[in-house]
Structure formats: C-alpha cells, structure tokens
Structure 1
C-alpha cells in the first residue's frame, strides 16, 4: 500500500486567531470534535504512555475511535511502560502505530557511547534527535498527518505556557485539547472513567520517559519536569519548533 503523503500545500488555510478565540468556549471533547471535522483523515494523536497518558488516549479514542496513535518507542523504556502500553491498547482498542529509530540502541551506543551519561545538553539533544525526533517526523510523513493532537498542558514547562489551542507547527497544525487543564482536572477525568495512571505514579514519579532519564520527584524539585533529563532540559524535542535542517528532513524522500 503506498504511503499517504501530503505536502505543506495540502494544509487547510486557517485563521488561527479566530479559531483559538472560538475554541476557548469549548471543552476538551469539543476541541477534539472540531479537529476531527476540520482535518479528517489527516488527524493523528501522539502518546508516550507516560504517567497520565490514559487521559488523552481515552478522550480521543472515545470521540474519534480510529484515530492513528503514534508511539515513538525509544528502545529504552522501562518494562512497566511496555506493559502499561499493552494494557491501554487492548482496553481502549487503540489504532496504535509504533515507530522506532533505524539506529538500534546497541548500534547507537557502539558508535556514540551512552549519550545520557555525558551530562550535557548537547548529548541529550543528540539522543533525542536520534531516538525520538526522527521517528516522529517519519511517522507524521508516512501517515499523511496534517494535524497532530497532543496532551500538552500550559503549566508543564515555560515553552508550553505560550501555546494556544491550535498552532502551526512546521508542516502541520498542533491541537492541544487539554492545554488549560490542571493536575486536579487530570485526576478527576481519570477517576470519572476509572482509568489508570502509569505504575510509576505510585513510586513518586510525576513524569516518566526512558529508564535512564527519569526519576521520582523529591522535596528539592521545584517543577515536575526537573525529574527528567537530569534537570538539564525540560523538553525532549518532539514538541519544539524544529531547526531548518530538521524541517527539511520531513520532506526528504530518504526518510
């Protein structure tokens, strides 16, 4: 079956200021419904199967059941994450699409060392580019995405404080249905639908990614994202504006 590839010219023209004002009057379900009506088969959702992943997975799959869900598997996730992913995939009947780097963990370590042990932002950025950003860019291209649903919240990082309900992100739109939600809103939604947290939640984790770059929150932390990437950075790169070179790679036929 040929890949569903769209060019940037295929994106529907949107008046983002007007749309964001309109969506501010809607709840999360309404924003997902708007996205489905606007983008149709070009709509995808991403997940990391992290601490609160069940919220977005349930929210989107209950409104648009067949939405493609992209999971970038770095190859370094804890066993509990893989089992949690399997549990939610079966329970919610997710249309899961798993993507990985073409560079295996063993090969990457042989060529570049254990990047997460180098304790520099540059090493973490290189790790994220190889294991997360490139697979995600490839997934978006192969699935013909024109809009990307993401469970980002404005109170998570300084970068996310400036996001809107809908924004242009390189060659597609980003939609953030739970942008204004608080930790209490997350808890109430999980409770209402009897959804699970990631197993690491009971061990004091507020955010979880790869086994080597996540830890429980302590009294010395000022923010939940301090527990990721040894406190050197807040974002893994997936949700940040890409460099010109990375944007060009999204259009590359070699991906």
Structure 2
C-alpha cells in the first residue's frame, strides 16, 4: 500500500481521495474532518457576500479555531463593509483582514482604473488586490488547506468542481459545494442569520465596479466583470499555475 506523504510528521492532503471522502459527509462534518485531520493548517476565507453567513456560521460551530480571512480590496460596496461588521459582531468572529500593499488611491494614480482596461487590467487588479493578499494570508497562517464557500449552482463554470482540488501548493476544499439556493435559505432562516443588505438586487457580490444587478444582466455570469468572466482571480481551476503560494 502506498503511504501518504508526510510534512513535519503530518499527513499531506491528497485531492482526489479527499474529495471522494468529503462527498459522503454533511457540510459541518466536512469542516470538522478537515480541521481535525490537518490541525493548525486550515484557513477559511470570506468575502462577506450574499451567502457569507452560512460558511461563517458553519466554521464557527464546527471548527471555531480555524482562522477566517477577509480580503479587503478597498472597492467593496459600503453595504458589504457594514454587513461584515454586523456578522462579525453577531457571530463573535475574529476576522483577519488582508489588503493590497498598495492603497486604491495609489493604484489609481499609478495605473488608472485597472478594471476598465480589459482582460490585462483585470488580471493585474486581481493580482494586486486579491491574489497577493491571499498569498500573504496563507503564508502567515501556515495554512495548507483553504476552506471556501463556492457552490456548483453559482454558475456553469463551477458545475464540475470536486469537493477538494489542488491549487498550486494549497489544497482548496468546498464544504457547501453541493448546496442549492433553497438549502442556503433554510439555513439562514433556521439560524436567524442576517442577509446581505443587497441580497434582493444581486445574485452575486463583488467589488462595486465589477458587479451588476441581476436586473441589468441576462444570467448570473453576466453580473460579474461585464460577462467576460465569473471567477474573481482567487478561485482558479486546479490546472491554472499562475497562482503562486
């Protein structure tokens, strides 16, 4: 039998087998398994988006020792920042906030409005404001497993996602990957969790300059980045290699 690789005496995650194992569990049990199997090596992220309360409540209940990271681009909706404060207070969360090393004002002075400069500008924007800060968060927390709230029902680009996948040197796991919208709604109601203030107007939530209301688009995919893409830069496919940790 092939032995699992070890790092400092601990088992190294293996994406395919881990994904199969997680598929058999509930969302809460998935989080518990990961936190227990890889102690001190798990981090969760939140965008304080439309379903953020679900993942935050699950992590709080099933793995309260796991650090939660919020990547602050400086361009979130004002309502998102207020929601972040409300949820953090309600759930008694210790959120670790990471930002670009270059302020929004500095970036605009140096490069202009990157989000208006096509694919190349959006890629640079993502690297400065999302990828690099998350790289730092991963490094500083010592995490090897990253919990994210992606769901297959979000868009066509996510329907084939496994429950765990390797993204560069980090294992990404998606505890609520198979949840449908009605399951999210039932969880919010059951746990009396507040909704994002813009939940009735948007189907996805990102920076104010790259997110459209659902009334202004024909599909969920078209509400982000003018319909050119849906993923923000953090949630790349496992085959992409330009996300370096």
Which one of the candidate residues 107, 111, 120 is aligned to 1:122?
120
2 CA distance for matches of 1:16 and 1:106?
40
CA distance in 2, matches of 1:94, 1:140: 19
Mind listing any 5+ residue stretches in structure 1 that lack a counterpart? 1-7, 251-255
* Structure-2 residue corresponding to 1:253: none
* Partners of 2:124 and 2:75 in 1: CA distance: 15
Alignment partners' CA distance in 1, 2:110 and 2:13: 44
Give matches, 1:161-172, under 5 Å.
Answer: 161-172=159-170
Instruction: Identify which of 226, 230, 239 aligns with 1:230.
Output: 226
Say how many residue pairs are matched: 238
Render the CA deviation track for 1:65-112: whole Å, top value 9, x for unaligned: 232100000011111111100011111111210000001111110111
Correspondent of 1:210 among 193, 207, 210: 207
- Deviation at residue 170 of structure 1 after TM alignment: 1.5
TM-score by length of 1: 0.87
Distance 2:183 2:242 in 1: 38
The structure 1 segments of at least 4 consecutive aligned residues displaced by more than 6 Å after TM superposition are: none
Matched-pair contact (CA < 8 Å) for 1:71–1:98: yes
Paired residue secondary structure (1:46): strand
For the residue of structure 1 that corresponds to 2:36, the secondary structure is helix
For 2:7 and 2:198, locate their aligned partners in 1 and report how far apart those are by CA, in whole Å. 43
- Alignment pair present for 1:221 and 2:218: yes
Q: Is the 8 Å Cα contact of residues 125 and 236 (structure 1) preserved in structure 2?
A: no
Q: Give the Å deviation of 1:166.
A: 1.7
User: Which residue is equivalent to 1:156?
Assistant: 154
What do residues 90-148 of structure 1 show as CA deviations (whole Å, max 9, x unaligned)?
Answer: 11111210000001111110111011223x12211111111111100111011100110
Q: 2:211 touches 2:224 (CA, 8 Å); kept in 1?
A: yes
Does the aligned pair in 1 maintain the 2:69–2:97 contact within 8 Å? yes
Cα distance in 1 for residues equivalent to 2:241 and 2:183: 37
Q: 1:219 to 1:101 in 2, by over 3 A?
A: closer
8 Å CA contact 1:147, 1:174 repeated in 2? yes
Q: How well do the aligned residues superpose, as a CA RMSD in angstroms?
A: 1.9
Asked if structure 2 preserves the Cα contact closer than 8 Å seen for 1:66 and 1:95, the reply is no
Range moving further from structure 2, 72-81 or 18-27? 18-27
SS at match of 2:175: coil
> In the superposition, relative to structure 1, how do residues 110 and 165 fare at CA in structure 2: closer, same or farther (>3 Å)?
same
d(CA) in 1 for partners of 2:123, 2:82: 27
Name the CA distance, whole Å, in 1 between partners of 2:223 and 2:119: 15
Name which of 133, 138, 141 aligns with 1:140: 138
Structure 2 residue 87 is matched with structure 1 residue 88 = yes
CA distance in 1, matches of 2:226, 2:44: 27
Is the 8 Å Cα contact of residues 217 and 223 (structure 2) preserved in structure 1?
Answer: no
Query: TM-score under structure 2 normalisation?
Result: 0.90
Instruction: Specify the alignment match of 2:11 in structure 1.
Output: 12
